[in-house]
Amino acid sequence: MGLSNEWQVKHLTKDGWVGGGYRLDCGDKKDDVVPKGAVLSIRRHVTVGKLGAPSSMNVDESETKHSSDQSLIDALIKKYGKPQFGV
């Protein structure tokens, strides 16, 4: 078992990035629900190995597109930037 295993989801909407579900090592968790109007979701999963050394940290981000309108997604990313994660 590693020192840390957390994940968080952010959803891009026409109003900006909206927080979704998450699971934190402290036990806090929230089920993820995609908000109405979301065009893109990004899930960030961070694990840290037993030693806790920076080299044992693994960060994986995966995207789910909820719209086939890539120009809209690109415009919203340009307007709001990349999501800011807490994990």
Q: What is the mean pLDDT of residues 39-45?
A: 98
Helix, strand, coil abundance in the chain, percent, nearest 5: 15, 45, 40
If you average pLDDT over every residue of the chain, what do you get?
93
How does residue 3 score in pLDDT terms, banded at 50, 70 and 90? Answer: confident
Percent of the residues in the chain that have a pLDDT greater than 90, as a whole number: 84
Cα–Cα distance, 2 to 47 (Å, whole number): 7
* pLDDT score at 2: 66
* pLDDT score at 56: 78
All structural domains of the chain with their residue ranges = 4-80
